[in-house]
Amino acid sequence: MSTPPTKPSSSSTTPSTKTPSAVTKAVSVTSKAPPNNCFRGIVVVEVGPEKQAFSIHKDLLCFYSDYFRGAFDSSFKEAAEGKLSLPTEDPAIFDIFNGFIYTRQLRDATDVKGPNLSFTTLVALWIFGDKYIVPALQNKAIDAFKERSDKLRSIPWQLHLRTIYDNTLHGSPLRRIITDMMAYEITVSEKPRDKIMEVYPLEALVDLAFTLSDKSKEDVGHFRLPAAKKAKCYYHVHNEGESCP
């Protein structure tokens, strides 16, 4: 089997301390509906070790993802055969992605939606979107992640911080949001020291230290993100000059 294109180096996770700007053709806002010509040819994506098959409109996949555009609009074997295999991906996550490109909503097989999805699922969706260059999915997932955290008044660092750091690069929005939440929304020193030492990779501790050192006097004691970090697109992945309506 030929190898599908790898992610370009100018991806959404280019190291940066600001919101990284992706250079993608894939749409990054869910307000933009796919045009009618996205609903013509069908391709098949086989997912997971059991090769669960998803039949999907090819141009719809390409509208949302630069990875699938590269794989199916090319001279690769996948394009000629109209078939691609993702044996290491989780079919449940792919199923939500598949539903998302048709409905622009996040919903799992049991009809759990948006911020009601688990932190595990929302983190996995963001990481999937990062890997396959689907900025609109990343933005939808990170909004739901923040909304869930606000609703439950819970920051899922104990279970998910390591997953986030193991699967993203320096400066990625998912790293920034969990670091900002830890720095601004709680008092870290009230958390169990042993647990912090167990969970936090060195890189995450450095990010947390830098973020805490940037905290202004006005931000202390409020337990909320500062206004600049609450801007709608602050943790989004957009091309330069793009933003959500």
Residue numbers at the binding site for Zn ion (CB under 5 A) = 233, 236, 244
CB of 245 to Zn ion, least distance (A): 9
Minimum distance of Zn ion from residue 167's CB (angstroms)? 22
Q: Which residues contact 12 (CB under 8 A, 6 or more apart)?
A: 20, 22, 24, 130, 133, 135, 138, 172, 173, 237
Please report which helix (H) or strand (E) contains residue 42, including its range: strand 42-47
In 52-172, alpha helices (H): 58-64, 66-72, 77-81, 91-103, 119-131, 135-152, 157-167
Shortest distance, position 138 Cβ to Zn ion, whole Å: 10
Q: Which is nearer to Zn ion, 154 or 243 (CB)?
A: 243
Shortest spacing between CB 76 and Zn ion, in angstroms: 31
Please name the helix (run of DSSP H) or strand (run of DSSP E) that holds residue 44, with its range, or none. strand 42-47
In whole angstroms, the minimum distance from the beta carbon of 89 to Zn ion comes to: 25
Pick 27 or 182: Cβ nearer Zn ion = 27
Torsion of CA 195, 200, 201, 206, to 10 degrees: -130
CB 43 within 8 A of CB 58: yes
Q: Is the dihedral of CA 55, 59, 65, 66 positive or negative?
A: positive
- Kindly provide the residue ranges of all beta strands, DSSP E only, lying in 185-243, ordered along the sequence: none
Closest to Zn ion by CB, 78 or 143? 143
Q: Minimum distance from CB of 43 to Zn ion (Å)?
A: 28
